[in-house]
Amino acid sequence: NAGVTQTPKFQVLKTGQSMTLQCAQDMNHEYMSWYRQDPGMGLRLIHYSVGAGITDQGEVPNGYNVSRSTTEDFPLRLLSAAPSQTSVYFCATRTSGYESYNEQFFGPGTRLTVL
């Protein structure tokens, strides 16, 4: 099993460009989420989904869109990239949205630079 996969690993964008960060999981987990990691800030939740068709905002949702049409995939869209979105992005999953005490499994990350 691949676990949680993210593509691309690295991306450089110009201000105003759009792109989609991909996240896929083969663990049949209901809950999927996106975090951004910035130096000295820990991980901050952008958006999450407790199942196909259900998404909600996290701590820092502005500038990002998500959708969840299948259990396996949870793409993160940047509609108009800004330098403030330069960060490392992690996708994470767990078995159920209800079981917050369960382990989360993280992807390897996407390192995004916006010029």
Q: Which stretch binds another protein (CB under 8 A): 19-27, 60-68, 77-85, 103-111?
A: 103-111
Nearest to 88 by CA among 48, 40, 26, 17: 40
**What is the closest distance, in whole angstroms, from the C-beta atom of residue 23 to another protein in the complex?**
12
The one among 43, 61, 65, 71 contacting another protein by CB under 8 A: 43
20-54 as b/e: b if 16+ CB within 10 A: ebbbbbeeebbbbbbbbeeeeeebebbbbbbebee
The contact pattern for another protein, residues 53-72, with x = CB under 8 A and - = no contact, is: -----xx-------------
Examine residue 52 and tell whether it contacts another protein (CB under 8 A).
Answer: no
33 lies in the binding site for another protein (CB under 8 A): yes
For another protein, which is the closer residue by CB, 5 or 18?
Answer: 5
